[in-house]
Amino acid sequence: MVANRDMNRERGLAAYRRELGIELPPAGSWLDLCCGTGRALLECASDARVTGVDLVAPPPHPRVEFHTASVLAWEPEEPYDLITCVHGLHYVGDKLAALTRIAAWLTPNGLFTANLDAASIEAPRPVRPLLRQAGFTYDSRRKRISLEGGRQVTFPLTYLGADDKAGPNYTGQPAVTSHYT
């Protein structure tokens, strides 16, 4: 995983609503991947289980459970009703492995939504149909991926590596291109 220190790590709830098109705070449990400072989580933390995961740990807080880890290494103890990732998958090397893991972390009625540029996944066959077959919905105009309901997902591709020198993506920030065979 490659962390981009230039990306805004101070996002609040308004940015989540705008970027992901969902209403927050959520009912039930919420996991935010690549949460930055956790500002959005802190804005709506209440009695719900709220968890943030990032490569850089925010300061501890009594109402939010923060973990310092990669999305490719961290394991939740229980499934979540909502999983979000605002502009974080851009910096993950093995994006399909991340999606596979995230799909298994949802409750049966849970929702995952994140920013993802499908053009940053290079494979010998188109990736969008593979995402659709696995149950994901991809909005190419908004560069947004979502999945309703937890499940086991596999992709018929093998990860070859990532190019962290791929240059800027649609956000204008440097990003990582994932390569598969």
Counting residues of the chain whose pLDDT is more than 70, the rounded percentage is: 94
Q: Could you tell me the pLDDT band of residue 4, with boundaries at 50, 70 and 90?
A: very low
pLDDT digits (tens, 9 = 90+) for 100-109: 999 999 999 9
Signed CA dihedral, 9, 24, 58, 120: sign only: negative
Signed CA dihedral, 86, 129, 76, 29: sign only: positive
pLDDT digits (tens, 9 = 90+) for 128-146: 999 999 999 999 999 999 9
Q: Which element (helix H / strand E) includes 128?
A: helix 127-133
Average pLDDT of the chain? 91
Counting residues of the chain whose pLDDT is more than 90, the rounded percentage is: 77
Q: Tokens standing for 8?
A: 């805004």
Give the right CATH number for 13-180 from 3.40.50.150, 3.40.50.1820, 3.40.190.10, 3.60.15.10.
3.40.50.150
pLDDT on residue 29: 94
pLDDT digits (tens, 9 = 90+) for 107-116: 999 999 999 9
Mean pLDDT of all residues in 93-97 = 98
Q: Tokens standing for 127?
A: 């990736």
Residue 34 scores a pLDDT above 90: yes
Alpha-carbon separation of residue 28 from 47, 87, 151 (angstroms):
9, 23, 19
Side chain identity, residue 22: I
In the 8-state DSSP scheme, what is residue 156?
S
Separation between Cα atoms, residue 145 and residue 139, nearest integer Å: 6
